[in-house]
Amino acid sequence: MAYTLWAANTAISLGTVVAAASQVLPTGLVFKCTTAGTTGGTEPAFGTDVGSTVTDGTVVWTSISSVFEDLNSFAPDKIIELFEITFSTAVAAVVGTSKYYFHGGLNEGFTANVVYNSNTYTAVPIKAEGFELTTQGSIPRPTITIANLSGIITTLLKLVNTAQHPTNPSQTAVFAGDDLGNSEVRRITTLKKYLDGQPDADVNARFPDQIFFIDRKVSETRDAVQFELVSKMDLQGKMIPKRQCISNICQWVYRSSECSYTGTNYFNINDQSVASAADDVCGKRLTSCKARFGTQDPLPYGSFPSVGLIR
């Protein structure tokens, strides 16, 4: 079924199902009215988990899967697997596009290009493995193998590896064997009946999107190129939490939105009062924050003073 989009100030009856109007949600969720009423003037922040609820005016919406009923029918439609690769800004500049859309080319019923959400997905022989969800063991590291018989992937990688990006305002550096590393790979799964051009076409009817990143090129031959994917938490050079827990150095840029100081009382790096804004320098200490905001007021200090108390 094609879902009706949410609308403001509308009377809603019990059991009505709508999709978000502002954007296509990657969660694959739609929203069922479990308390009848009238919607509010602005679209609510819909839930991101099955079963979560949100109040909208006098209506209560409960999140449900957009494809659950289809999969539980006696004759479910064919499942279609689509892929999107999002390039970095530097790579996009040399390849001429920010995204590449493709599908397996052997999806049952489709051996040519398909269109979904107004995007054309090119048919390419691929083999995608390891996308299964699991609650045990390590985080999945799927692999995707793409046919290279015409040399198109090798050509793309050679082009990618010539991309340059600025390391500072005065110089550039060449990607050395980048091979699409850190590029986002989005796996979209839907049903054949929901593709553009079908009677029940609906971009909101989909399974939850799976998002991974290219960690490395496993192999490259004349026949195929294989990439290993990782979740965002497994990316090389990334830390969780992203900010380091430092006790005595504020990590905010002085007078930025995080710092929020806009006053005309100026202090030097030693927290001594000065008359000129030109001499105004934050010492990055807790005392520097207190000098500007006061000793009794809430401080937007960009660090973690209590860390030093932990042994």
pTM: 0.68
C-alpha to C-alpha distance for 282 and 240, rounded to whole angstroms: 27
pLDDT digit string, tens, across residues 138-189: 778 899 999 888 888 888 888 888 776 555 444 455 554 578 888 899 999 9
Lowest mean pLDDT among 30-34, 134-138, 267-271: 134-138
Six token digits for residue 8: 């403001």
Q: Are 79 and 45 in contact (CB under 8 A)?
A: no
What average pLDDT does range 181-202 have in this prediction?
89
Give the largest CA-CA distance in the chain.
79
